[in-house]
Amino acid sequence: MTRPGDSIVIFIARLALAVLFLWGGVMKLMGYAGFVGYLQGRGVPFVQIAAPLATAVEALGGLCLVLGFKIRPLALIMAVYTVATAVLGHDFWNVTDAAMQHDMVIHFWKNIGIAGGFLLLFVTGAGGISIDGARAPRGGLHR
């Protein structure tokens, strides 16, 4: 059961999450060689697969968040992706400099919190202001 304002709140939540990923995806596209170099420097395995995959997840995932398209499966993919980037990109347990470690801890837990937001989207669905909502059957119980 949804309340009248739920779709607006879910839409705003989708936009808030989308901004981060759209921006990241576009920046990766614009500086693709630098992004590949960064991944290589971090020791990420299979960079030739990881770089385009990360770029696509962020850019296309962000766009799908804005449009509200296939939100439930997308939310699970984005939650897993966000946790993976937390572990691979913000590995504070490997950092010895105190200031850098503090920064990494913040970014690690920020990513975990974002993953929590995606899990909520998985439960709620896209809401009425979305492609998913427009395609949902009307009448009776629906999500």
Q: Where are the domains of the chain?
A: 6-135
Contact by Cβ (8 Å): 139, 99? no
Rounded-to-integer distance, Cα 15 and Cα 19, Å: 6
140: amino acid identity, one letter: G
User: Do residues 31 and 82 lie in contact, with contact meaning Cβ atoms separated by under 8 Å?
Assistant: no
Q: What CA–CA distances, in Å, run from 74 to 11, 34, 38, 104, 122?
A: 15, 27, 26, 26, 8
* Segment 18-24 mean pLDDT: 96
Half-sphere exposure of 29 (CA within 13 A, CB side): 12
- Mean pLDDT for the stretch of residues 39-48: 90
Q: pLDDT tens, 47-101?
A: 999 999 999 999 999 999 999 999 999 999 999 999 999 998 898 998 999 999 9
Residue 4 backbone phi and psi in degrees, to 5: -55, -40
Q: Which residue, among 128, 121, 123, 86, has the nearest Cα to 16 in the 3D structure? A: 121
Predicted pLDDT of residue 140: 47
Return d(Cα 7, Cα 32) in angstroms, integer.
36
- The model's pLDDT over 108-121, given as tens digits with 9 standing for 90+, comes to 999 999 999 999 99
